[in-house]
């Protein structure tokens, strides 16, 4: 077993980078002010710096302990996140039904098998359910199908 | 008498048809979510959060609260029948609930948990209605420095007491506070971190953040790993629900002890229903005349944790409603729901919005009654629900999350915010960083900033003035103690880590 936990190290670096970005951007763009009259930059700069400190602690801790065996998934997260992306891209121009169908078709791929019939039936059922819940019951003003052109 | 008038007002509010309907919806969805393993209360409340924008604040809170305590009822069902906790707070219920099911006493175990849950819930409500006004009137004299200290205590306790690295918990609190600074700065009117985007000027919506962190990230980790294809629904008839006289005899004292323990841990920041359930189980095992019965289907072993976690669910509202300081991420969402409607929880809530406070409290009674009715005769329905395959469930949840996010402002941008926090949430899981503290930091961040600025102005920039005040000083000392103790505990834990058994995962929920 190695003595360096790379994942933990990456986590620490992630914190350092995020804190640094927030702090640096606020430092460059917003006024800091004084303690009695704080400017909009004071709190973000302080919090960002704090995050950098925590990141350093996590990263240093990673150098001394070696473990972590859980798998990192690549395909599943991309597919699930992709389904949300598809919904977000389709909802405004095309309406609710195309967005739901697109989202479900992509999301069902995460199972690792392509089953068009299952996906389409599920998409159809969810369209009907969404129509009943959101349009009929909650009366949201969402167009079911839209055509932007 | 004042109290009687208040209770009457509350009952009137809680029993209005619309509030009754949403209370029923809430406890129904709560039981449903609780029964289904892999989705916790926090994810459920996040998913339904957007719909509360379209409701009256009281109605919205009644529904969200219903989901919250409803999951505690439903969670025990999966624990008993499948040995898989539906929610983290019912994990202990597995220990004796599942053996009871194996002995053919599943019905009795389910009935006992429902009754114990009701008992604990009612006990917690009583504590809540007595103590909230007391704490609130006491808190009226608090200044900004005191609130600042209390909120820091809440954040530190909630992010370090649960297992896992306290440093990572604190880091996530800070990250949440940073995310909260995005948007218009209320003090100076400066747009912070918006990069010229008008959509970002309003800040990140709490609903989108919660749905991304808890909804989407949860699905990513559960797909393909939580398979329930092989589950066979165990038939539970109404007749088998009847406890014996011996079961009843073993019910009262454990239920009473556990409710007291639950009420205590529920009101403390950082601890919650899960800790309460573990502690009460331990206490019962210690006071029992024959501890060897535990783990082999002892009735006390299901009664105690279920009474405790339900009592804790109710008393968690004490600091939330009387001080405006949430003790857990779920309570932070409750506060978020109030702030969406322009209500700032704090000591004035009970007097300024008596219909909201007492209506909510009375709806807890109504909701707990509904839950007993829902859970006992309809148990067969819930059992069958356990067999719904996850491959059908998760696309449905994703669609609901997306529509929910979109429906708040009818902007596709909010769906993209969900996406962004889904990515962040998954990255955090890879780095084993807890998500609940981030949400707490996000909700409390702006309030802390505001109180800190005000306290600094009042003290003319002298930080020692905050430490010098009796209340804020004491609270900060306690905070420091918790911090030092938890860091010390995690340092001691670390060397033995690789050999240590997997600890129960209790950071995400409550």
Interchain proximity B456–A36, CB inside 8 Å: yes
Cα–Cα distance, A104 to B262 (Å, whole number): 41
Residue with tokens 């983290």: B88
The answer for B 10-69 residues in CB contact with A (under 8 A) is: 51, 54
Task: Give residue B296's pLDDT.
Answer: 83
Categorize the per-residue pLDDT at B365 as very low, low, confident or very high, splitting at 50, 70 and 90: confident
Task: Give residue B261's pLDDT.
Answer: 92
Task: Give residue A19's pLDDT.
Answer: 93
Interchain proximity B216–A80, CB inside 8 Å: yes
H or E stretch at B191:
strand B191-192
User: Which string of b and e fits B297-330 if b means at least 16 CB within 10 Å?
Assistant: bbbbbbbbbbbbbbbbbbbbbbbbbbbbbbbbbb
The interaxial angle of helices B412-430 and B390-409, nearest 10 deg, is 130
Please name the residue of chain A whose CA is at the shortest distance from the CA of residue B426: A77
B151 domain-assigned: yes
For chain A, say whether B206 makes contact (Cβ under 8 Å): no
Chain Cα centroid distance, residue A85: 10
A149–chain B nearest CA distance, Å = 18
Interchain proximity A76–B224, CB inside 8 Å: yes
CB atoms within 10 A of CB B61: 27
Two structure tokens written together for B302? 């299901």
Task: Give residue B244's pLDDT.
Answer: 81
* B165, B192, B433 ranked by CB distance to A40: nearest: B192
The CA-based angle B134-B136-B140, given to 5 degrees, is 120
Contacts by residues B346-352 (CB-CB < 8 Å, ≥ 24 positions apart) = B346/B139, B346/B322, B347/B135, B347/B136, B347/B137, B347/B139, B347/B140, B347/B142, B347/B322, B347/B323, B348/B136, B348/B140, B349/B136, B349/B321, B349/B322, B349/B324, B350/B132, B350/B133, B350/B136, B350/B321, B350/B322, B351/B136
Task: Give residue B505's pLDDT.
Answer: 40
Task: Give residue B138's pLDDT.
Answer: 85
Average pLDDT, chain B: 82
Residue A39: is it exposed, middle or buried by C-beta count within 10 angstroms (0-12/13-18/19+)? middle
* Residues A82, A132 contacting (CB under 8 angstroms): no
What are the E-state strand segments in B332-458?
none
Average pLDDT score over residue span B449-467? 82
Average pLDDT score over residue span A114-131? 90
Please state which of the ranges A122-126, A130-134, B77-81, B232-236 shows the lowest mean pLDDT. Answer: B232-236
Cβ-based contacts of B454 with chain A (< 8 Å): none
Count of residues for chain A? Answer: 149
Categorize the per-residue pLDDT at B239 as very low, low, confident or very high, splitting at 50, 70 and 90: low
Greater pLDDT, B249 or B226: B249
B25 domain-assigned: yes
* Residues A22, B178 contacting (CB under 8 angstroms): yes
CB atoms within 10 A of CB A94: 17
Average pLDDT score over residue span B305-319? 90
Query: Among residues of chain B, what percentage have pLDDT more than 90?
Result: 12
Two structure tokens written together for A5? 């936990």
Query: Among residues of chain A, what percentage have pLDDT more than 90?
Result: 39
Total domains, chain B: 1
- Whether residue A12 has pLDDT greater than 80: yes
Average pLDDT score over residue span B158-167? 75
Provide the domain limits for residue B281.
Answer: 2-494
Phi, psi of B184 (to 5 degrees): -75, 130
Task: Give residue B235's pLDDT.
Answer: 59
Task: Give residue B234's pLDDT.
Answer: 57
Task: Give residue B6's pLDDT.
Answer: 82
B506 domain-assigned: no
| pLDDT (tens digit per residue) in A18-71 | 999 999 998 888 888 877 777 888 888 999 999 999 999 988 888 776 565 566
Two structure tokens written together for B260? 């007291």
- Whether residue B36 has pLDDT greater than 80: no
| pLDDT (tens digit per residue) in B388-431 | 777 888 898 899 889 888 888 888 898 999 999 999 999 998 88
Task: Give residue A98's pLDDT.
Answer: 92
Task: Give residue B501's pLDDT.
Answer: 38
Categorize the per-residue pLDDT at B510 as very low, low, confident or very high, splitting at 50, 70 and 90: very low
Please state which of the ranges B184-198, B317-331, B471-485 shows the lowest mean pLDDT. Answer: B184-198
Please name the residue of chain B whose CA is at the shortest distance from the CA of residue A11: B431
Task: Give residue B408's pLDDT.
Answer: 80
Task: Give residue A66's pLDDT.
Answer: 58
Q: Where are the alpha helices (DSSP H) in B103-229?
A: 106-139, 144-160, 166-180, 198-201, 206-210, 217-222
Cβ-based contacts of B416 with chain A (< 8 Å): 85, 88
Interchain proximity B394–A55, CB inside 8 Å: no
CB atoms within 10 A of CB B235: 11
- Whether residue B310 has pLDDT greater than 70: yes
- Whether residue B118 has pLDDT greater than 60: yes
Task: Give residue A65's pLDDT.
Answer: 62
- Domain residues of chain A, as ranges? 6-62, 75-137
Task: Give residue A63's pLDDT.
Answer: 77
| pLDDT (tens digit per residue) in B461-505 | 777 877 888 888 888 998 899 888 888 887 776 544 443 333 344
Tell me which residue of B163, B446, B209 sits closest to B329, measured CA to CA: B209
Please state which of the ranges A12-16, B8-12, B188-192 shows the lowest mean pLDDT. Answer: B188-192
B499 domain-assigned: no
Please name the residue of chain A whose CA is at the shortest distance from the CA of residue B441: A47
Average pLDDT score over residue span B427-436? 87
- Whether residue A89 has pLDDT greater than 90: yes
**CA distances in angstroms from B280 to B93, B121, B131, B283, listed in the order given:** 11, 15, 22, 5
Cα–Cα distance, B223 to B118 (Å, whole number): 33
Torsion angle defined by CA atoms of residues B296, B301, B303 and B306, in that order, rounded to the nearest 10 degrees: -120
Please name the residue of chain A whose CA is at the shortest distance from the CA of residue B408: A140
Please state which of the ranges B71-75, B120-124, B168-172 shows the lowest mean pLDDT. Answer: B71-75
A78–chain B nearest CA distance, Å = 9
């Amino acid at each position: 077993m190695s003595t360096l936990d790379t994942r933990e190290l990456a986590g620490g670096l992630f914190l350092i980078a995020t804190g640094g970005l927030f702090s640096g951007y606020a430092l460059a763009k917003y006024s800091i002010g004084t303690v009695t009259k704080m400017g909009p930059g004071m709190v973000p700069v302080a919090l960002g710096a704090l995050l950098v400190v925590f990141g350093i602690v996590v990263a240093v801790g990673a150098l001394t302990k070696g473990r972590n065996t859980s798998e990192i998934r690549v395909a599943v997260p991309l597919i699930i996140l992709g389904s949300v992306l598809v919904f977000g891209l389709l909802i405004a121009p095309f309406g609710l039904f195309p967005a739901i169908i697109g989202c479900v078709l992509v999301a069902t791929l995460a199972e690792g098998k392509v089953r068009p019939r299952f996906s389409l039936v599920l998409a159809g059922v969810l369209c009907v359910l969404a129509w009943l819940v959101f349009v009929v019951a909650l009366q949201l003003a969402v167009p079911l199908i839209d055509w932007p052109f | 008498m004042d109290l009687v008038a208040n209770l009457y007002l509350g009952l009137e509010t809680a029993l209005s048809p619309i509030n009754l309907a949403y209370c029923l919806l809430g406890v129904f969805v709560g039981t449903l979510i609780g029964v289904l393993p892999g989705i916790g209360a926090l994810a459920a409340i996040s998913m339904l959060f957007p719909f509360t924008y379209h409701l009256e604040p009281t109605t919205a809170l009644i529904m969200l609260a219903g989901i919250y305590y409803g999951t505690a009822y439903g969670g025990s069902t999966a624990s008993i029948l499948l040995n898989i906790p539906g929610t983290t707070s019912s994990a202990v219920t597995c220990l004796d609930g599942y053996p009871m099911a194996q002995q053919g006493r599943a019905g009795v175990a389910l009935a006992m948990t429902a009754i114990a849950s009701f008992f604990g819930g009612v006990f917690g409500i009583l504590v809540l209605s007595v103590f909230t006004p007391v704490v609130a009137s006491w808190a009226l004299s608090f200044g900004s420095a005191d609130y600042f200290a209390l909120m820091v205590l809440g954040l530190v306790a909630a992010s370090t007491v649960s297992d896992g690295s306290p440093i990572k918990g604190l880091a996530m609190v800070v990250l949440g506070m940073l995310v909260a600074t995005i948007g218009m700065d209320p003090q100076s009117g400066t747009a912070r971190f918006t990069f010229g985007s008008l959509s970002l000027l309003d800040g990140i919506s709490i609903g989108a953040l919660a749905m991304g962190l808890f909804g989407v990230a949860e699905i990513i980790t559960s797909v393909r790993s939580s398979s329930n294809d092989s589950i066979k629904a165990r038939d539970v008839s109404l007749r088998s629900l009847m406890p014996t006289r011996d079961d009843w005899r073993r019910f009262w004292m454990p239920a009473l002890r556990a409710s007291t323990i639950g009420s205590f841990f529920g009101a403390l920041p950082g601890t919650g229903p899960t800790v309460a359930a573990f502690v009460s189980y331990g206490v019962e095992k210690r006071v029992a005349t024959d501890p060897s019965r535990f783990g082999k289907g002892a009735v006390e072993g299901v009664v105690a944790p279920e009474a405790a976690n339900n009592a804790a669910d109710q008393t968690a509202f004490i600091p939330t409603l009387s001080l405006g300081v949430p003790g857990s991420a779920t309570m932070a969402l409750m506060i978020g729901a109030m702030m969406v409607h322009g209500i700032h929880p704090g000591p004035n809530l009970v007097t300024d919005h008596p219909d909201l406070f007492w209506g909510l409290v009375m709806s807890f009674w109504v909701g707990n009654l509904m839950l007993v009715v829902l859970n006992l005769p309809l148990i067969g329905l819930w059992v069958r629900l356990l067999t719904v395959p996850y491959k059908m469930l998760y696309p449905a949840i994703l669609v609901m999350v997306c529509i929910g996010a979109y429906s708040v402002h009818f902007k596709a941008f909010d769906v993209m915010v969900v996406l962004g926090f889904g990515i962040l949430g998954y990255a955090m899981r890879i780095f084993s960083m807890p998500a609940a503290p981030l949400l707490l930091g996000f909700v409390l961040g702006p309030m802390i900033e505001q109180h800190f600025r005000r306290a600094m102005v009042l003290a003319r920039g002298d930080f020692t003035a905050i430490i010098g005040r009796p209340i804020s000083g004491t609270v900060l000392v306690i905070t420091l103690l918790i911090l030092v103790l938890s860091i010390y505990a995690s340092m001691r834990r670390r060397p033995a880590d690789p050999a240590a058994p997997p600890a129960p995962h209790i950071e995400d929920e409550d």
